[in-house]
DNA sequence: TTGTAAGCGTTATCAA
DNA sequence: TTGATAACGCTTACAA
């Protein structure tokens, strides 16, 4: 009914005390008389009082809000990380301000400035690129931050990094050990840090096993089912037309891309793994349900989220300035999308 | 370097004007002298000024923040809706405060109060239950809101409702038309509005076609792959043991649950749709990739998100108090998880 | 034990 | 065209 919001002044009036006494009572200040306190708390309840967090934040120059900045909120990897973060935040009575940078540095910058403007206590960010000026922006403004999916080489920056290079190595190695040597890499956009790390691991596996990767077998595409489907179809067409870009297996940065190739395969009446082998990365919830179940390198999503937010909270509470760095090792989950080729190894 | 935040006072000092002139200049107030304005804006840029949105919000009693309260941030349906909302918000320079209620009314209440405390401009909420006190809480506090997934019968409440009852009807009807009459309903938690609507549609289809649903073929479970898998396994065991709870087809509230039955089916060496038919709801991104591709009722996620946020923004801008109500009709997406049974129809 | 007053960074009114 | 001032609701010295 009453459209006016209840403030400590209203409570003060109703309780017949000053508003600063109310303030103290609401904070359980032991200096306040037991009885007055009870009364104040009772009245606050009756009036359905809730504090104005903007005023509180302005006064304290600090809010109980955490900013989260990712590149694709639709990607199940981030959904799971977000869920994990939210759970912890909820226990701490923190809230989450969520932004999507959509792989654009400019948007990312805007998002960071928003976080700054809103005086968030800290941010968790999976940046577009670990070398962009945006990370400097974060550092310069003393914005507490934990980075995901990259290893920024910047003083005082903390990150929890799921080793993408290792993931690619593991995936590629597994294919090589199964006898594949023409391995198509379906990577993410080349500006993306994760994609850069992933490429390194792919190349490392090749050189480790004394193999030479073919230039035309390395593709940068959008991280999506549509992206995977479309590149596979054009590549398959090339293959039929000219016999070029031949591959027996695929490694990809994302299970989503892998799912695109599943879709294309069905449309082209191709069999996995008989016609081509594929190994994904992320191990999203549906990968095991596919037919054949997708072999994938697991991205420990919940652990990453929880570790990241805990690191950030530590950074916020203890005002230690030393940066912390955690590397999480991904693990191969063998399922049925890779075929052993006999003529090698 | 400078750890102190830049405010309009700093700019004022640097520009040799009063801070209130700076305030006006930053708002492009035409009363301000062209030259002073230019100078102020230049200096603001040089100092990397960004406004304190807490102060602004406090002063204006209104922020450019929208609250989003859902029950499971991991569910791809909500990820897609969130993405859609975020895109529009981003264009409007609004930001999103995101909470997960985890199907608990108490948590939901806390989340609503948080939104109130933070003076959000409005919220989008998929509530635990459309009859809970929480909706009254929203109404009483004049919190602008758009509801999802339910049709609250409360004066002045707006919602955009994807017709769950119709979805269940469509799904069940399709099964019936294909000759099934022992149809297992794998529904969500019974306190959940969506689940209640869904049940209605299921029952309506039965009565429409003169069939009687079996009580023991209606199950409330968690909306997850694990939930679907586990109920299917216990039900299948029952079936083998006693011959009871027999069914030839399944309707379910969520493709996630359907995926659980796919998983169980593989583990039990059962074939879909030969051994049982199944039809899901939501049509999430991976449903078409499954084998067999899952027949599902489509939940128009992006449309719902965009419609909802646009309605909310309208409500915020025009201070019209009339509630608006939009119903979105879901559509059946026929794929290959339903078998036609010959002996009926 | 309670109350007064200042200040957080804006916006907006009014006076100069 | 510019500046002084008050107010938003809260926290926190400090005074009573």
pLDDT 10s digits, B144-188: 999 999 999 999 899 999 999 999 999 999 999 999 999 999 999
pLDDT at B39 over 50: yes
pLDDT under 70 in chain A at which residues?
Answer: 1-3, 241-245, 319-321, 342-345
pLDDT at B345 over 50: no
- Window B171-190, strand C contacts by Cβ < 7 Å: none
pLDDT at B312 over 50: yes
Cβ of B118 within 8 Å of Cβ of A95? The answer is yes
Which band of pLDDT confidence, cut at 50, 70 and 90, is reported for residue B1? Answer: very low
| Nearest chain A alpha carbon to B136 | A1
Per-residue 3-state assignment (H helix, E strand, C coil) for chain B: CCCCCCCHHHHHHHHCCCHHHHHHHHCCCCCCCHHHHHHHHHHHHHCCCCCCHHHHHHHHCCCCEEEEEECCCCCHHHHHHHHHHHHHHHHCCCEEEEEECCCCHHHHHHHHHHHHHCCCCEEEECCCCCCCHHHHHHHHCCCCEEEECCCCCCCCCEEEEECHHHHHHHHHHHHHHCCCCCEEEEECCCCCHHHHHHHHHHHHHHHHCCCCCCHHHEEECCCCHHHHHHHHHHHHHHHHHHCCCCCCEEEECCHHHHHHHHHHHHHCCCCCCCCCEEEEEECCCCCCCCCCCCEEEECCHHHHHHHHHHHHHHHHHCCCCCCCEEEECCEEECCCCCCCCCCCC
pLDDT tens for residues B91-121?
999 999 999 999 999 999 999 999 999 999 9
Mean pLDDT score, B16-33: 95
- Alpha carbons B199 and A6: distance in angstroms, whole number: 41
Which percentage of chain B shows pLDDT scores above 90?
92
- Alpha carbons A157 and A145: distance in angstroms, whole number: 7
**Alpha helix (H) residue ranges in chain A:** 8-15, 19-26, 34-46, 53-60, 76-91, 105-117, 133-140, 164-177, 193-208, 225-242, 255-267, 301-317
HSE of B229 in the Cβ direction (CA atoms, 13 Å)?
Answer: 14
What's the confidence (pLDDT) of residue B322? Answer: 78
Same topology, domains B62-163+301-329 and B164-298? Answer is: yes
- Window A18-57, strand D contacts by Cβ < 7 Å: 19-20, 23-24, 26-27, 51-52, 55-56
In this complex, the residue with its CA at the shortest distance from the C1' of nucleotide C7 is A59
What's the confidence (pLDDT) of residue B290? Answer: 98
pLDDT at B321 over 80: no
Mutate to test the interface with A, among B4, B118, B306 (most CBs of A within 10 A): B118
Instruction: Round the average pLDDT of chain B to a whole number and report it.
Output: 94
Mean pLDDT score, B205-213: 96
pLDDT tens for residues A151-179?
999 998 999 999 999 999 999 999 999 99
Window 254-283 of A: residues touching B by CB (8 A cutoff) are 259, 262-263
Which percentage of chain B shows pLDDT scores above 70?
96
Q: Which chain B residues are Cβ-neighbours of A79 within 8 angstroms?
A: 73-74, 76, 79
- Window B38-77, strand D contacts by Cβ < 7 Å: 55, 58-59, 61
The reply to whether A55 has its C-beta less than 7 Å from any atom of strand C is yes
For residue A275, the 8-state DSSP code is T
For residue A339, the 8-state DSSP code is P
Domain limits, chain B: 8-46, 62-163+301-329, 164-298
Strand partners, B148: B160
What's the confidence (pLDDT) of residue A154? Answer: 92
Nearest CB neighbour to A54, from listed B87, B107, B119: B119
Strand partners, A122: A66
CB atoms within 10 A of CB B190: 12
Is CATH 3.40.50.2300 correct for A62-163+301-329? yes
pLDDT tens for residues A178-192?
999 999 999 999 999
Cβ of B99 within 8 Å of Cβ of A96? The answer is yes
Protein-proximal nucleotides of chain D (any atom < 7 Å from a CB): 1-5, 7-13
CA torsion angle B311 B313 B319 B324 (round to 10) = 10
Window 125-164 of A: residues touching B by CB (8 A cutoff) are 140-142
Closest by CA to B149, choosing from B218, B69, B206, is B69
What's the confidence (pLDDT) of residue B320? Answer: 63
How close is the nearest chain A Cα to the Cα of B209, in Å?
A: 34
Window 224-253 of A: residues touching B by CB (8 A cutoff) are 225
Mean pLDDT score, B213-242: 91
Q: Which of these CATH numbers, 3.40.50.2300, 1.10.238.10, 3.40.50.300, 3.10.450.50, describes B164-298?
A: 3.40.50.2300
Residue B144 Ramachandran class (φ > 0 left, ψ -120 to 50 alpha, else beta): beta
The reply to whether A54 has its C-beta less than 7 Å from any atom of strand C is no
Closest by CA to B54, choosing from B16, B7, B102, B3, is B7
């Amino acid at each position: 009914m009453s459209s006016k919001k209840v403030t400590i002044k209203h409570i003060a009036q109703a309780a017949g005390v000053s508003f600063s006494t109310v303030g103290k009572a609401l904070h359980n200040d032991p200096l306040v008389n037991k009885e007055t306190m009870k009364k104040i708390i009772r009245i606050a309840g009756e009036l359905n009082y809730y504090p104005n967090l903007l005023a509180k934040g302005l006064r304290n120059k600090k809010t109980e809000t955490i900013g989260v900045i990712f590149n694709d909120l639709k990607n199940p990897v981030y959904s799971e990380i977000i869920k994990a973060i939210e759970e912890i935040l909820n226990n701490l009575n923190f809230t989450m301000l969520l932004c999507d940078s959509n792989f654009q540095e400019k948007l990312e910058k805007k998002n960071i400035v928003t976080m700054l403007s809103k005086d968030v206590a800290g941010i968790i960010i999976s940046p577009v690129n670990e070398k962009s000026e945006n990370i400097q922006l974060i550092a310069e403004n003393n914005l507490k931050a934990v980075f995901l999916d990259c290893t920024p080489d910047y003083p005082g920056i903390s990150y929890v990094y799921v080793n993408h290079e290792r993931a690619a190595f593991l995936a590629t190695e597994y294919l090589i050990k199964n006898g594949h040597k023409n391995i198509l890499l379906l990577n993410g956009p080349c500006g993306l840090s994760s994609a850069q790390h992933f490429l390194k691991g792919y190349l490392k596996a090749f050189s480790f096993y004394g193999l030479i990767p073919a230039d035309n077998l390395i593709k940068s595409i959008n991280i999506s089912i549509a992206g995977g489907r479309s590149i596979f179809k054009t590549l398959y067409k090339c293959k039929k037309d000219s016999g070029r870009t031949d591959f027996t297996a695929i490694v990809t940065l994302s299970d989503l891309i892998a799912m695109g190739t599943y879709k294309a395969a069905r449309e082209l009446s191709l069999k996995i793994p008989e016609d081509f082998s594929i190994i994904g990365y992320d191990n999203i919830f549906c990968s095991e349900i596919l037919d054949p179940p997708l072999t994938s390198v697991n991205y420990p999503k919940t652990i990453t989220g929880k570790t990241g937010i805990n690191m950030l909270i530590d950074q916020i509470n203890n005002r230690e300035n030393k940066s912390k760095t955690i590397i999480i090792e991904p693990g191969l989950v063998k399922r049925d999308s890779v075929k052993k080729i006999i003529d090698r190894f």
